[in-house]
Amino acid sequence: PSLSIKDNVIEASLPTGQSVQVHLYGATVTSWKTNGKEQLFVSEKAHLDGSKPIRGGIPLVFPVFGPPPQNHATSSLPQHGFARNSNWEFLGKSTSDAPGKDSDKADLTVKLDFGLSHSMLTEEFREAWPYEFGLVYSVTLTKDTLETSLQVRNEGKQNFEFQVLMHTYLSIEDISDVRVKGLDTKTYLDKTLQGSSHVETSAALAITQETDRVYQNLDPAVPIDVTSAKSDQSLFSITREALTDVVVWNPWIEKAKGMADFGPDEAYKNMICVEAGSVASWQTLEAGEAWEGGQSIKSRL
Ligand code: BG6
């Protein structure tokens, strides 16, 4: 696998052609290509200079899925916490090959590791959330998947509570053709309806309006499939580990226009966020303990 590091952007690619790009700002994955095709959506107006969380790719939400609740240890943090707007460090790459195979390189994978800890935060964030923590975020590229996983360590003497979410913006051709499968019978909070609770009745969810739903208590091993209604093909299939909630978000027409960093206006047709996380309640991490969770996204191509 080849690796390049330039202007705080890390790029890795496999001999089989797949590539991934990660900005140190937020450890945000900003590109994932398979067969020359971009799989992630990044807004044309996204800020890539570290002045604002990147609108697209996979921003990482930690330690709070915003807006932060009142009277909680995260109350003074910005929307979605500080991970997506902090400068991470690159810890290095590792490669692996399936044993016994060397001729076609088809099983080669590359893993990029990124770290963030309390001392690396801005003073403002350190004061707002004074816990000693260590994060290691691993981005693994394989022939047909992109895997992201986060390890959270409590390096202090006090317990802390956190939420985490991998806010993946998937690139799609046409939102009207997209169906999301794997959610039926699941309870969700509808953030467009004052967070009211509902039960999903659709086996193939169509997105026809602003959608902002937090599906809860899913079995992480059961894939969420983003499919094409026309071809009935799976476009993306997402399995998770230790992440039991899934947020489905599309801003639709008015919200898309209202976001200064979202563009062009019609781009809401070309994206859907399917976000694997642990956000419905809080994970408590005892002093000295570690937690790990992640997702694996398989693309059709
Ligand atoms: C989603 C939330 O995860 O992120 C939405 O459920 C929110 O409510 C969206 O609007 C985008 O958030 P932000 O902070 O990146 O504009």
Query: How far is the C-alpha of 279 from the C-alpha of 236, rounded, in Å?
Result: 22
Active site residue 132: no
Poorest-pLDDT segment among 103-107, 191-195, 211-215, 221-225: 103-107
**CB of residue 249 inside a 6 A radius of ligand 1:** yes
pTM beyond cutoff 0.90: yes
* pLDDT band with cut points at 50, 70 and 90 for residue 71: very high
Q: Whose CA is nearest to atom 6 of ligand 1?
A: 212
Please tell me the predicted confidence (pLDDT) of residue 301: 66
The residues, any chain, with a CB within 8 Å of residue 65's CB and separated by 6 or more, are 80, 81, 163, 165, 247, 277, 279
Checking if the pLDDT of 106 tops 80, the result is: no
Ligand 1 atom closest to 259 (CA):
16
Give percent of the chain above pLDDT 90: 94
**CB of residue 76 inside a 6 A radius of ligand 1:** no
* pLDDT band with cut points at 50, 70 and 90 for residue 245: very high
Checking if the pLDDT of 56 tops 70, the result is: yes
**CB of residue 80 inside a 6 A radius of ligand 1:** yes
Poorest-pLDDT segment among 42-51, 103-112, 131-140, 196-205: 103-112
In the 8-state DSSP scheme, what is residue 78? P
**CB of residue 113 inside a 6 A radius of ligand 1:** no
Active site residue 275: yes
HSE-CB at 197 with a 13 A cutoff on CA atoms is: 5
Q: Whose CA is nearest to atom 8 of ligand 1?
A: 212
3-state secondary structure of 151: strand
Checking if the pLDDT of 103 tops 90, the result is: no
Ligand 1: which of 43, 193, 249, 254 to mutate, judged by most atoms within 8 Å of the beta carbon? 249
Q: Mean of the pLDDT values across residues 51-75?
A: 97
Hey, what are 93's tokens? 């790459």
**Cis amide linkage into residue 53, ω under 30° from 0:** no
**CB of residue 169 inside a 6 A radius of ligand 1:** no
Q: Whose CA is nearest to atom 4 of ligand 1?
A: 249
Catalytic residue among 80, 161, 167, 173: 167
